[in-house]
Amino acid sequence: MTDPIRDEWYPVALVSQLGPEGRDTRLLGEPVRVAWHGGAITVTSGGRSLPSQQRYGHVWACPGTPQRPLFDIPEADQPGRRLVDVGLVRVKCSPLRAVENFLDIAHFPFVHTDILGAEPHTEVGRYDVAIREEVDEVWATKVHFYQPQAAKSAAGGITTEYMYRVPAPTVSILYKTCPPRPGEWDVITLFVQPLDEELCEVWPWMALFDDDTPMTDLIHFQQTIFLQDRSILENQLPHRLPLDPGLEIPTRADLTSVAYRRWLKRRGYTYGAQLVAA
Amino acid sequence: MPVERFIIRGDLAAATFLPWVARHLLRLGLRGETQRSDALCVEMLVEGPADLIDAMEMGVSLGPIEAWVETIERLPLNRCGSA
C-alpha cells in the first residue's frame, strides 16, 4: 500500500545555493542530506538514495515512491520571464498552515497593510473554486482584490486579479495580474518543505515579466511579504491545520481554504493536520 | 429569517455526523431540524441569517473526519415551507 504523504515530491534545497559542502536538512521528521556527487545532485536519507530531480530552481525529493510526476508550471519555460529564487524562510508552523495562509486573501489589508491590501478595501468578492478532477488539483479563479502595491513593478494601486492553484499538498501557485504586461500572469509560488508536523521551511519562487526591477529588490519585496506572514503563522491556534472545523468558523471568504482542506482529507494527506477538533 | 433545505450527500454513515451537525448549528446560532437521514443522504431545514447559513454550508462540507460530504444542495424555502 502506498503512503500518500511519503509519495509526494518536496523541495529540499535551492540549486543555486547548494555549495560543495552540501546541505543537511530534514523531511517528514527524518534526516536528509543533499550533496553534489560528480557533478550531479543526490539526496539520501538513512543511507538510502531518494528519488530526486531539479526543477524550478530547487532540488526535489520523494521519501517514498512517486505516484505521479512533479507538477508542471509551463510558465517556467516561457521566454522573457525572470526566474527568482527567493530563498528560505523557516516557520514554526504546520506545513499545511503555510500553504493555507498563502491561499487566504482576507488577511491582506490587515497583515500586508498598504502593500497587498488596505482599509477600507477589505471585502472579498465572490470567486470560483473547484477541485479539477482531471488533474487532481485545487483551483480558485476570478479572485479580485484592490491592492495598493500589487508588485514591485506596480505604480500605485490597482485591482488585481488572482488565480490560485494547489498542485501538491505542500505547494501553492499564485497567478496574478502582471502590471507591465497585461494579458500575462505573474507566477508566484510557495514550495513548502515539511521538516516535521509543526515546523517547515518555505521556499518562495517566482517567474515574472519584469525587466527593470533589480533582482535584490524582487527578492526583498517577496521576503518582506512572507516575513509579515510568519508572525501570524507562528501564533495560529491550533498549530496544525484542522480538517474538522470544530474550533473555527469558515465563511464564504474561506472557500479556497475549505476546498484545500477537503482535498487533503480526500487524499488522506494528514501530516501537519489536526483530525479531530480539540 | 431565511429558511433553507439542505440536502447533504456523501458517505454519512459515521455515528458522529449528525451530532457534529447539531453542534455546528448551535455554534453558529442557527436553528435546524433533521427531516431525513441515512448513510448516504441527510435532509434538514436550516434557519437563520443568510451569511450564517453560508457558513453552515462551509462547515458541513468539511464535517467530522469520519464522514465525507460529497455535495450540499441548498433550496431556499418560502414562509410556508415549500421550495
Q: Where are the domains of chain B?
A: 3-77
**Contact with chain B for residue A200, Cβ under 8 A:** no
- How large is the C-alpha radius of gyration of chain A? 18
Of chain A, the percentage scoring pLDDT greater than 70 comes to 97
Q: Is the pLDDT of residue A278 over 80?
A: no
pLDDT of residue A13: 98
pLDDT of residue A262: 95
Looking at this predicted complex, what is its ipTM?
0.88
Say which of A244, A249, A255 has its CB closest to residue B65. A244
Out of A19-23, A143-147, A181-185, least confident range: A143-147
Element of type H or E holding A11: strand A10-14
CA distance A67 to A52: 13
Q: How many other C-beta atoms lie within 10 A of the C-beta of residue A258?
A: 20
Pairing of strands A48-49, A52-55: unpaired
Chain B: nearest CA to A119, how far in angstroms?
Answer: 22
Q: Which of these, A43, A63, A44, lies nearest to A53 by C-alpha position?
A: A43
Provide the 3-class DSSP secondary structure of residue A267.
helix
Instruction: Compute the average pLDDT of residues A44-53.
Output: 96
Q: Is the pLDDT of residue A127 over 80?
A: yes
pLDDT of residue A152: 65
Using the CB atoms, write b or e for A148-166: b if 16+ within 10 Å: bbbbbbbeeebebbbbbbb
Query: Is B77 buried (19+), middle (13-18) or exposed (0-12) by CB count in 10 A?
Result: middle
CB B37, CB B45: distance < 8 Å: no
Q: Is the pLDDT of residue A1 over 60?
A: no
**Contact with chain B for residue A1, Cβ under 8 A:** no
Q: Is the pLDDT of residue A264 over 80?
A: yes
Chain A: nearest CA to B81, how far in angstroms?
Answer: 25
Residue limits of CATH 3.90.380.10 in chain A = 81-274
Q: How many other C-beta atoms lie within 10 A of the C-beta of residue B8?
A: 25
User: With an 8 Å Cβ cutoff, are A252 and B51 in contact?
Assistant: yes
Instruction: Compute the average pLDDT of residues B16-39.
Output: 95
pLDDT of residue B80: 59
Q: Is the pLDDT of residue A33 over 90?
A: yes
pLDDT of residue A108: 79
pLDDT of residue B79: 57
Instruction: Compute the average pLDDT of residues A133-144.
Output: 93
pLDDT of residue A115: 78
Q: Is the pLDDT of residue B76 over 80?
A: yes
- Distances in whole angstroms, Cα of residue A154 to Cα of each of A103, A109, A150: 21, 17, 6
CA distance A61 to A7: 10
Residues of chain A found within 8 Å of residue B51, distances taken between Cβ atoms: 251-252
**Contact with chain B for residue A121, Cβ under 8 A:** no
Q: Is the pLDDT of residue A236 over 70?
A: yes
Q: Is the pLDDT of residue A258 over 80?
A: yes
Model pLDDT for residues A6-30, shown as the tens digit of each residue: 999 999 999 999 999 999 999 999 9
- CATH architecture of the region A1-70: Single Sheet (2.20)
Instruction: Compute the average pLDDT of residues A193-220.
Output: 94
Residues of chain B found within 8 Å of residue A254, distances taken between Cβ atoms: 58
pLDDT of residue A2: 67
Model pLDDT for residues A84-124, shown as the tens digit of each residue: 999 999 999 999 999 999 998 778 777 777 777 778 877 77
Query: Fold for domain A81-274?
Result: Naphthalene 1,2-dioxygenase Alpha Subunit; Chain A, domain 1 (3.90.380)
B3-77: CATH number: 3.30.70.100
Residues 6+ apart with CB under 8 A from A265: A243, B62, B65, B68
Residue limits of CATH 2.20.25.680 in chain A = 1-70
pLDDT of residue A248: 81
Model pLDDT for residues B33-66, shown as the tens digit of each residue: 999 999 999 999 999 999 999 999 999 999 999 9
Q: Is the pLDDT of residue A65 over 60?
A: yes
Q: Is the pLDDT of residue A41 over 90?
A: yes
pLDDT of residue B61: 95
CB B12, CB B39: distance < 8 Å: yes
Q: Is the pLDDT of residue B81 over 60?
A: no
pLDDT of residue A210: 87
